[in-house]
Amino acid sequence: MTTRTYDIVIWGATGFTGRLVMAYMAKTYGVDGEIKWAVAGRNAAKLAEVKRQVLGADAENLPEVIADSNDEASLRALVSQTKVVCTTVGPYALYGSTLVALCAELGTHYCDLTGEVQWMRQMIEAHQVAAEASGARIVHTCGFDSIPSDLGTYFVQREMHKAHGVYAPRVKYRVVGSSGGVSGGTVASMMNMMEEASVNPEILDIIADPYALNPLNMPRGEDGADQTTVEYDKDFRQWTGPFVMAGINTRVVRRSHALLGYPWGSHFRYDEAILTGDGPSGFAKAVLVAGGTGLMSKVTGIKALRKLLARVVPAPGEGPSVTAMENGFFEIELRASNPEDPKKDLIAVVTGDRDPGYGSTCKMIAESAVCLAVDDLESAGGFLTPASAMGDLLISRLAEKAGLGFTLKAAEE
């Protein structure tokens, strides 16, 4: 990589999530510390004002870059002066494609928060060869989707191998609890995905494909469709409902497995669901979760209802309150089955000390950017996943700095 002015540029710093990333970077690494970073936005006056609101007197020490997704020259200038672009400009399918192309071309590492599976598929097909050639590590899904899933699976498999010398043929991700909210940018990204699908129904096939993100012409696996109804989980002894992020996270974990060279075996299986408790109340909660998820996918699938929904959900730039983020949390369990003895099953617990979507996500993407910029990574260039790009090093960073926990607890027999 040629010499670059910055280690990291955060593009989208005026948005709801981008502001949080800026605040976290300033608090954790300082504005004039060892890591050279800058913020970027499309509107100079707004960027200056947001910097001032977030950083106060420190604002003048933090450099800024102006770049608009509609102005390729401005993006090229941004990409060529930094080692890593960390972007919160979404919907990514609307604003992110030229940026990814330029990072792949110019050997600039990249991380984002997209959950738009159809767009990631498109980007991989278009730019994988260029990224491999330039050495750019392009890493999508560096937030709540899909770091707890991807690094949680990587972690529990690592621990299984350490403890028992084998890998689990099956890992189940279960949401134990979480509290948080949603932002306008996330809603806009979901709506845009459904909008695109209404024009191009092939997108629905991509979204439904359990191996949508696997490298082409490489083995897939035995997983089927994501859970859509109520199921009883005998291992956890609880009822479960569908988890809304499973359609993204499961694809990322399966891509990681392929990119890591299928260490967990050709029969490896992975799925996600929400635990709702046992007995009649657990069942009733699971019914509500399944009903709510089904209803939401119906509503967002119909144009007129999407328009109605847009009136009541947060607008771009808006999101959960500071209190909701600070009081938020998440707790996930990933149960890895031991292939030889169920008594040796392991459960990894992945936790976050803020709400999943913003308070914790801003820390996850910021640490991903720092890891890509300064850590001694072994991965080659290409479209990677958090686990295949940064694995152990990112787990350590998140545990040490970002309030995430990766621990083990005994599996009940």
Ligand X SMILES: NC(=O)c1ccc[n+]([C@@H]2O[C@H](COP(=O)([O-])OP(=O)(O)OC[C@H]3O[C@@H](n4cnc5c(N)ncnc54)[C@H](OP(=O)(O)O)[C@@H]3O)[C@@H](O)[C@H]2O)c1
Residues that bind ligand X (CB under 6 A): 12, 14-18, 41-43, 46, 68-70, 88-92, 95, 113, 115, 143-145, 183-186, 189, 316-317, 319, 357-358, 361
Helix axes 72-80, 97-106, angle to 10 degrees: 40
Q: How far is the CB of 75 from ligand X (least distance, A)?
A: 9
Q: Which is nearer to ligand X, 64 or 235 (CB)?
A: 64
Q: How far is the CB of 42 from ligand X (least distance, A)?
A: 4
Q: How far is the CB of 284 from ligand X (least distance, A)?
A: 28
The H or E element spanning position 330 is strand 329-336
Q: How far is the CB of 180 from ligand X (least distance, A)?
A: 10
- Exposed/middle/buried for residue 321 (C-beta within 10 Å: 0-12, 13-18, 19+): exposed
Q: How far is the CB of 66 from ligand X (least distance, A)?
A: 9
Q: Whole-angstrom Cα distance, residue 111 to residue 365?
A: 7
Q: Which is nearer to ligand X, 115 or 210 (CB)?
A: 115
Q: Whole-angstrom Cα distance, residue 21 to residue 371?
A: 15
Q: Which is nearer to ligand X, 15 or 382 (CB)?
A: 15
Give the number of other Cβ atoms within 10 Å of residue 165's Cβ: 8
Q: Which is nearer to ligand X, 185 or 282 (CB)?
A: 185
Termini Cα distance of the chain: 52
Number of C-alpha atoms within 13 angstroms, CB side, residue 108?
29
Q: Which is nearer to ligand X, 81 or 229 (CB)?
A: 81
Q: Which is nearer to ligand X, 185 or 391 (CB)?
A: 185
Q: Would you give the DSSP letter of residue 83?
A: E
Q: Which is nearer to ligand X, 145 or 233 (CB)?
A: 145
- CB-based contact 78:9 (threshold 8 Å): yes
- What is the gyration radius of the CA atoms in the chain, in angstroms? 21
Q: How far is the CB of 303 from ligand X (least distance, A)?
A: 20
Q: How far is the CB of 279 from ligand X (least distance, A)?
A: 32
Assigned token pair, 204: 């629905």
Burial 122-131 (b: 16+ CB within 10 A, else e): bbbeebbebb
